A and B are shown apart, each in its own frame.
Chain A
Amino acid sequence: MSLNAPLAVLNHAQLDGLDYAVIGLYLAAMLALGAVLSTKIRAFKDYFLAGGALTTPLLICTLVSSYYGLDVTFGTSESGFYYGVAAWFWYSLPYYFFIAFAALVIAPRLKRYGDAMTISDILEQHYGMPTRVVGAVACFVYSAPIVSMAALMTLMEFVGIPTGWGLLATIGVCAAYTTMGGLWADAISDTLQFVLMCVSLAIAIPMAVEWVGGWGFVEQMSATAGGATADHFAHHGGLSGWMLAAWALTGLTVLVEPAFYQRVFAASDAKAVQRALLTGILLWASYDWGVTLIGIIARAAVEQGMLPADLEGKSALLTICMEMLPTGLRGLMIGGILSAAMSTIDSYSLLASGNVVYDIYRPLLDPKASDRRLLVLTRLGVFSVMLAAALISLLFVRMRDTWQFMASVMTAVVLVPVLGALFGRPRRAAGLWGAVGGFVGLITFYGLLFTLGEFDLEEETHVWRVGGAELWQDFSVLLALPVSIAGFVAGNLLGKEETR
């Protein structure tokens, strides 16, 4: 099904005046915030890194809300709907280990890069300009908020808001406060968005359990031996080991997550980031559990005939919330979901704009660009990125595949060179060979998959059956990473120039 094809608009999904008032109040508060914070911006570092002054609570709010957008909210509940608690154990849980590793091992190592502002700065310091540019392009592909825009359109269609106007209003507000206040506005608006998304979910969880008739659904779903939901409460969800490994490995993106690096460089001190990430794990784990459970409850409701049998997993969370919440609370929930989207769109548009202006334009085209010029261009870039992402999102068909491709590019290209730089002293050629190797490996895999494989209608993904093996689209990182590692090792052995 097309990502942007209109979903069936349910009558009960319509919002009323009070719901719109709650959403309008929230959007107005965001605008006022941007206007106030614009007075704090004097230089590019103030704009892009909030002057390096973010404290622990601010970092918790901005990290938690930025990293969790609609892709996670809808995607995790979708996986809960189809596969049960396996979505939490094998998709979400590995992320927390990678986040803990990033907090305890990577964050302290980043202190040695005093003036760095982005991942590309680290790449250039070790491997030179070409690797910087390749890394910046991968970061841009990953950061452009295409999936969030597509999910936002789905949300608008679902609640019956005209997509064009709704999107224009959201992008307009988001772009206005981010353009005015940069990371300050982004981070402080994230605090409001953080509370809204967490509290609305905290309210929705017990209401959903009550709505489905209490905890009896667990036994009912597990009791149907051989049925589609029999493994919903088994940690593996009935999935193959390879698939579970592929899910778990998506967590590797955390180790090269541009928002994480930006906030480490923007933190008032290294301990603040560590505290924020470790506290964030508790919040992320709770949020993931909540949306997974609501996905499972939606599935239970389908089994019990309370929801239509053709309900799609990606609509599970929205359907159940619209079905059970009273007016006012529905507005709060939509505000919470909108917050999850906006906190991601503003953060990643700022990052993507920084990638183009600071990481590519400045070193390649205008090395003597003044601070003021960088500031103006990055501000213009924020709005352009949002607009472009909204347009590009119309071209993609499926949300999961789009996200998978973007995350695969980032991991395959940047992970090995960055970890090599942080934990070793590789030669300069290693970085470029590792990055290019990962990219070539990924493109080769996708090329073979789409030409020799076929679309599996039941699993809704491309599968390439070769010999007795099945290679799924989900395995892209699993297969591209070894090529990146091989390129890195070859560059390190054959390269002549030592790293700086």
Chain B
Amino acid sequence: MEMVTWASVIILGPGSIAIFIWFLCDLRKIFRRDE
């Protein structure tokens, strides 16, 4: 149970931040497509 909980914390913390950074990198592509 402890392991599952720590895995959840890693996915929710660093994991969600990594996805957000991925989104920020992608955002430039989205806006460039419009120009």
Contact = CB atoms under 8 A, between A and B. Distances in A.
Interface of A: 40, 53, 55-58, 60-61, 188, 191, 194-195, 198-199, 201-203, 205-206, 209, 215, 218, 233, 279, 282-283, 285-287, 289-290, 293
Contacts of B11: 282-283, 286
Given A57-B22, A58-B23, A209-B5, A283 B33 contact: no
B12 A290 contact: yes
B8 A53 contact: no
28 contacts: A40-B34, A55-B26, A56-B26, A57-B20, A57-B22, A57-B23, A58-B23, A58-B30, A60-B23, A61-B23, A195-B20, A198-B13, A198-B16, A202-B12, A202-B13, A202-B16, A205-B5, A205-B9, A206-B9, A215-B1, A283-B11, A283-B12, A285-B8, A286-B11, A287-B8, A290-B8, A290-B9, A293-B5
Contact of A201 (B2, B10, B12, B30): B12
A199 B10 CA distance: 10
B15 A283 contact: yes
Q: 6 closest pairs, A vs B, by CB?
A: A202-B13, A198-B16, A286-B8, A57-B23, A202-B12, A286-B11
Contacts of B23: 57-58, 60-61, 191
A233 B4 CA distance: 14
Interface of B: 1-2, 4-5, 7-13, 15-17, 19-20, 22-23, 26-27, 29-30, 33-34
Contact of B9 (A55, A56, A188, A202): A202
A203 B5 CA distance: 12
Contacts, number: 81
A53 B33 contact: yes
Contacts of B13: 198-199, 202-203
Contacts of A287: 8, 12
Contacts of A218: 1
A288 B20 CA distance: 20
Contacts of A283: 11-12, 15-16
Contact of B5 (A58, A188, A279, A289): A289
Contacts of A215: 1-2
Contacts of B16: 194-195, 198-199, 202, 283
Contact of A198 (B12, B22, B27, B30): B12
Which of B8, B29, B33, B34: most chain A Cβ within 10 A?
B8
